[in-house]
A and B are shown apart, each in its own frame.
Chain A
Amino acid sequence: MPRPARGNGLVSVPGVSAEDRDLIVRASRGDVEAFSQVVRDRSGFVHRVAQRIVGPDKAQDASQEVWVRVWQRIENFRGESAFSTWLYKITVNACLDARRKDQRREARELPEEPPYLPETPTSDNDPESSALNRERREEIFESLEHVREDHRAALVLRHMEGLSYDEIAEVMDVPTGTAKGWVSRGRASMLVALSEKGRPGGDGEAGGRP
């Protein structure tokens, strides 16, 4: 059921096909059918980003919050940036809010020992060595938990989503230099956390990992 006309000034939607543009325009005018299609088309994208920023356990709640915000705000989408950038922005903000509510991280001091990772066989002929098994995936997400939320989001956007620093800056609404700094510190923090999992007495030892 369309909402009352609100005079949406959306003139173009960069980075999407004509069909998608039509859907987004209709959704921005309150057409629930069109919005439903936008949700179906992009729910994987939102869930993927949410999973990487808040972790698999909280990704569902975060994704739901994202879509609530998208519905509330899509009428204000003017097409000044790509729709994907706008969606990234809402997703990242919702995830950061979710992470801030759940502050379980402790401020860590940087250990004096260098943060090395245990060497692993990485032969190109050995698919098992390069496959991301469940244990490794858990290690990565657990290590990301120890990275400050904005650093983590920037790290995810750079090294998992493949965004440029300018794109990260636009999504996170910060100067490009800040985005670079956050990615850099996020990388270092994650390496420290990941290396501690492999050390005696580290988080990873609790489960008796070899």
Chain B
Amino acid sequence: MMPSTESERWEFLEMIGAYAADELEGEEAGEAERLMLETEDNRRLAESYAQMLALLSALGEETPEAPEAVVNYAIRRAYVSAAVRRADSIMRGLAIDYLGALVHYLGLRPAQQR
């Protein structure tokens, strides 16, 4: 029998889930085992959890390959990004050189301290 309030039902469900995942120890494990012995419903709930966890685990064993499009996209983006950064760096260098030349041409360069 499930507890009556929603928060109690979540708590109950989570405890059975932790038991099915073999994550309970000590008193908590004892309490869960007592609930298992209490009703067939509780045992069935634990079995449902175990079934679900087995499905997740089986799916976890699979190793899907990434589509080639993902790999190509990532590499292409990196090349474009690196080229843009390089161009940006060159342009900044040119701009600084040009500004320096302009300052020199206009005679605005501050007198160098000796």
Q: Hey, which bits of chain A sit against chain B, CB under 8 A?
A: 1, 3-4, 30, 32, 35-36, 39-40, 43-44, 46-48, 51-52, 60, 63-64, 67-68, 70-72, 109-110, 112-117, 119-120, 122, 130, 132, 136-137, 140, 155, 159-162, 184-185, 187-188, 190-192, 194-195
Contacts and interface: CB of A to CB of B under 8 A. Distances in A.
A46 B6 CA distance: 37
Contacts of A72: 81
Contacts of B9: 110, 112
Interface string B12-38: 011001100100000000000000000
B57 to A, nearest CB: 6
Contact of B71 (A43, A130, A187): A43
Chain A interface SS verdict (over half): helix
Given A4-B89, A68-B74, A185-B10, A47 B66 contact: yes
Nearest to A130: B58
Contact of B55 (A30, A132, A195): A132
Q: Which of A51, A60, A160 counts the most B-chain CB atoms under 10 A from its CB?
A: A160
Nearest to A2: B82
A51 B21 CA distance: 23
A116 B39 CA distance: 14
Interface of B: 2, 6, 9-10, 13-14, 17-18, 21, 41, 44-45, 47-49, 51-53, 55-60, 62-67, 69-71, 73-75, 77-79, 81-83, 85-86, 89
Contacts, number: 135
B67 A60 contact: yes
Contact of B52 (A40, A68, A130, A190): A190
Given A47-B65, A116-B48, A187-B21, 9 more contacts: A47-B66, A52-B59, A64-B73, A71-B78, A113-B2, A160-B57, A187-B18, A188-B10, A190-B52
Contacts of A115: 13, 45, 48
